[in-house]
């Protein structure tokens, strides 16, 4: 669970947790990569501060463009392995901003099913929890 304004740290670490070589960022390292104008006392960090921390782990952070929103948020079941469309090869997680708060989505640890299409990590909750395709609004 988050202590103080650390939702950005939690969301980045959770989104990167499937990278085998990723060592979770400490608060000191995460905060140290941010510029003064990117830090907000309430935890509503700027996108660029999170991006810099994702890149420090050897990953890339790419914003979803408006035209991609609908195609990435679909449940694709025509293939042998049904999946949430955003979980394309090379995508390990999704860091999302909600008003005043950062959260992360990752693929489930096991097979993706309509009942378990993604894991949501919210640092205000004690552990990630599964979201169904229906809950994600994809069916």
pLDDT value at residue 137: 66
Residue 28 has pLDDT above 70, yes or no: yes
Residue 139 has pLDDT above 50, yes or no: no
Residue 1 has pLDDT above 70, yes or no: no
Q: Which percentage of the chain shows pLDDT scores above 90?
A: 21
- What stretch of H or E contains 15? helix 7-15
pTM: 0.82
Mean pLDDT across 100-105: 90
Residue 48 has pLDDT above 90, yes or no: yes
Mean pLDDT across 50-59: 91
Q: CB under 8 Å to 81, separation ≥6 — which residues?
A: 111, 112
Q: CB-side exposure of 37: number of CA atoms within 13 Å?
A: 1
pLDDT value at residue 54: 92
The C-alpha angle with vertex 20 and arms to 15 and 18, in degrees rounded to 5, equals: 30
């Amino acid at each position: 669970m988050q202590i103080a304004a650390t939702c950005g740290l939690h969301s980045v670490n959770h989104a990167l947790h499937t990278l085998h070589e990723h060592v979770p960022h400490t608060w000191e390292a995460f905060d140290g990569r941010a510029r003064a104008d990117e830090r907000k006392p309430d935890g509503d960090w700027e996108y660029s501060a999170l991006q810099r921390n994702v890149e420090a782990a050897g990953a890339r952070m790419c914003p979803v463009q408006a035209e991609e929103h609908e195609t990435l948020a679909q449940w694709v079941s025509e293939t042998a392995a049904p999946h949430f469309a955003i979980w394309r090869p090379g995508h390990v997680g999704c860091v999302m901003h909600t008003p005043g708060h950062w959260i992360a989505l990752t693929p489930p640890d096991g097979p993706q099913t309509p009942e378990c299409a993604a894991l949501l990590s919210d640092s205000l909750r004690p552990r990630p929890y599964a979201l169904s395709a229906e809950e994600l609004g994809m069916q």
